Chains A and B, each alone.
Chain A
Amino acid sequence: MGKTIKPEDLKCPLPITGHDTIQLSHGSGGRMSNELISKLFVWAFDNPALRKQDDQAVVEVNGLKLSFTTDSFVVDPIFFPGGDIGDLAVNGTVNDICMNGATPLYLSAGFIIEEGFPLKDLQAIVISMKRAASEAGVQIVTGDTKVVNKGKGDKIFINTAGIGLIEHGYDISSSNLKAGDAIILSGTIADHGIAVMSKRENLSFETPITSDTASLNRLVAEIVRVGGVHAMRDPTRGGVAATLNEFAMASHVGIRIHEDRIPVKPAVAGACEILGLDPLYVANEGKLVAVVSPDKAEAVLAAMKKHSLGVDAVIIGEVVSGQSGMVSMTTRIGGQRIVDMPVGEQLPRIC
């Protein structure tokens, strides 16, 4: 028998500031999500694997090192230019599994479907999951289906969990950054977020903007083969800005990036301009940020550029000592500024 937990033991020691109820911003991947996770979930479920707060946990079973993760997908609209909630659910979890260099193997899929949801849409989603899984080389081996009353859920939610095998000997984690490391970005940013937003708001642009949703495991394998990689993450919600801030905080280092090196497609830049959004904070679904030791940076970059998902890869900055936890940017015209952790969802401005 384990020890009995008394209610007073469960009093949260660190108050969550500001709100008595859950806000949308608590799920945005920014400062509020972070606070909720560290002050409630990590506090309650506390263990060494969770405490690392990477997007996946590394667990050992009989000497085998496994990468284990789960993610839920609640995107609106469910079909958007370049993808749908189905391939997103597969690719997102594959990407989380492999960001520590693991080879993704098996996924589960849980569906929460609202009564009245068209069967043909469900078929389309499932076929797109099948395609994404076969492209990534993973199998969906178990699942679950729940149907909720009309109005009790928004069309369809999908949860995917997955495991992968870690066969390399490196320790790849957001807490491993060292001064001098190069920050490599695998391609153009903000494509996914802007594609979804333009569909949602019925904005049309001259050049259609499509989501970048893709499985990154094969690109990751190339990076791991070259070696020297200290940390990797796919900058989804909160964008590249949130990922870099998480790295800087977890490793107690500073990060400096250079505005003129950050690739943004012209149509995406234009859309961000119109909406008053900063592409650094907009979600991506097929990009990764790799932090690599300086002696291996060029070799990793060359290996990435050979892969179709890394042709636009570029070194956008470096890890610096001092300025612990701080991400700064040299602006295009030579000024300096901080790149802060986003607070919540970015909101389009008034004028």
Chain B
Amino acid sequence: MKYLDEFRDPKIARKLLDEITAAITKPWVIMEVCGGQTHAIIRNGIDQLLPQEIELVHGPGCPVCVTPLEMIDKALDIASRPNVIFTSFGDMLRVPGSKKDLFVVKSEGGDVRMVYSPLDAVKIARKNPDKQVVFFAVGFETTAPLTAMAVWQAHQQNIDNFSMLVSHVLVPPAMEALLGSPDNRVQAFLAAGHVCTVMGWEEYVPIAQKHKVPIVVTGFEPVDILEGILMAVRQLEDGRAEVENQYARVVKREGNRPAIEVIRKVFQVTDRKWRGIGEFPRSGFALRSEFEKYDAEKRFALGDISVEEPPECISGLILQGLKKPYECGEFGRRCTPQTPLGATMVSSEGACAAYFAYHRQKDDSVEKN
């Protein structure tokens, strides 16, 4: 991995840290939007290396964390039915619904399969014409082109036993909502590089202008993140609020046109509920009416599903950058990756799981068990 080593080089990292320290004159709060970045920050110990003036807060960008509990319960309901093959990306399998998770459904005899691509789910549907094959379409703009492609393929090939439980969410509306909140503390954003790879960064320009926040499109390696922070700090110190692209080796201003096209063909923008935070207008994708027959929620009569979140879980506040995981009373006590109470603990990219796995010493009272 020659190409990657460069972005993990300790010498370049050190130099960027020195430049950040030299550039900074006062405290700033910067939010990394994406769970992948949170994970990289904690995993590499970047937060401990930064000057004290910088407070990094973790954003809502973990698709597993923000998938509403009732959606997971719907998935469990469908997956438990006979004659259904339920497919999903790996990290959704362990997310608990109100009572169990997909692994438990599998242990009870449900046909639950992990796939690396939704296109594999279409293949499974083709091979099993007597079964209903369902794919759990979770994720941000990053995974949307592939899920859209799967629906498109099923449509082209007249595969009728395939459907999707769609819970796609979109990042820019969530950023807008956070900035509009009276509690907002975020002064600059590191925008999620992967999302911008697909969608480009044009849509961030009005957000940066309206709310006067610097937004730096940032990659996922340590050097990417440090460089993104440096660019954000420089803007903050200069009083600028622009969209800059740290991840130019991958992200183009206009994004990936063919990917955007297939998304537009299959999905339309819709209001969506984010777990722990609430409903944001126009913050998700849903299937267009011409593809309705691939909508698993319509295909399976699911009845009413009402759910209750554990009241002690503060993951909503964590996802908005208002609290840190170790400020939760259950962190490392009742709530661990093995017995998660909230989704920020169950998803390996959730902030609680990242702190638990890599950083427990932040809270000395937490014993390793």
Measuring CB to CB, which residues of chain A are less than 8 angstroms from any residue of chain B? 17-19, 21-25, 31-32, 201, 203, 260, 266, 269-270, 273, 275, 325-326, 331-338, 340, 343-344, 347-351
Contact = CB atoms under 8 A, between A and B. Distances in A.
A325 B368 contact: yes
Nearest to B10: A333
B14 A334 contact: yes
Interface string B350-366: 00000011111100000
A24 B103 contact: yes
B10 A332 contact: yes
Residues of A contacting B: mostly: loop
B168 to A, nearest CB: 11
Most B-side CB within 10 Å, residue of A344, A347, A351 = A351
Contact of A335 (B46, B104, B357): B46
Chain B: number of interface residues, binned into ranges: 35 or more
Given A332-B222, A334-B49, A337-B359, A349 B348 contact: yes
B357 A340 contact: yes
Contacts of B181: none
Contact of A24 (B46, B107, B139, B349): B107
A349 B42 CA distance: 17
Contacts of B4: 269, 273
Interface in B1-59: 1-2, 4, 8, 10, 13-14, 36, 42-49
A335 B356 contact: no
B116 A269 contact: no
B200 interface: no
Given A343-B337, A347-B94, A348-B89, A336 B45 contact: yes
B279 interface: no
A21 B108 CA distance: 8
B10 A24 contact: no
B8 A333 contact: yes
Interface of B: 1-2, 4, 8, 10, 13-14, 36, 42-49, 63-64, 89-94, 103-104, 106-108, 114, 116, 138-140, 142-143, 194, 222, 337-339, 348-349, 356-361, 368
Nearest to A249: B368
Contacts, number: 113
Contacts of A17: 338-339
A22 B1 contact: no
B128 to A, nearest CB: 16
Contacts of A325: 368
Contact of B92 (A22, A270, A340, A350): A350
Contact of A331 (B2, B43, B64, B357): B43
A349 B354 CA distance: 14
B104 A338 contact: no
Given A203-B116, A331-B45, A335-B46, 16 more contacts: A18-B338, A23-B103, A23-B107, A25-B103, A333-B14, A333-B49, A334-B49, A335-B44, A335-B48, A338-B359, A347-B91, A347-B114, A348-B114, A349-B349, A350-B89, A351-B140
